[in-house]
Amino acid sequence: MAKLYFQYAAMNAGKSTTLLQASFNYRERGMETVLFTAAIDTRRAKGTIASRIGLAADAIVFDATTDLFAELEALISARRIDCVFVDEAQFLSEAQVLQLAHVVDRLDLPVMCFGLRTDFRGELFPGSARLLALADDIRELKTICHCGRKATMNLRTTSDGEAVSEGDQIEVGGNERYIALCRKHFYEKFGDNS
- Residues labelled as active-site residues: 88
- Inter-residue contact 34 to 84 (CB < 8 Å): yes
Of 144, 139, 157, which is closest to residue 183 (Cα–Cα)? 144
Give the number of residues written for the chain.
194
Contacts of 190 (CB under 8 A, 6+ apart): 163, 165
- Inter-residue contact 180 to 154 (CB < 8 Å): yes
| Edge-to-edge strand list for the sheet holding 83-86 | 60-62, 33-38, 83-86, 111-115, 4-8, 137-140
Contacts of 31 (CB under 8 A, 6+ apart): 82, 83
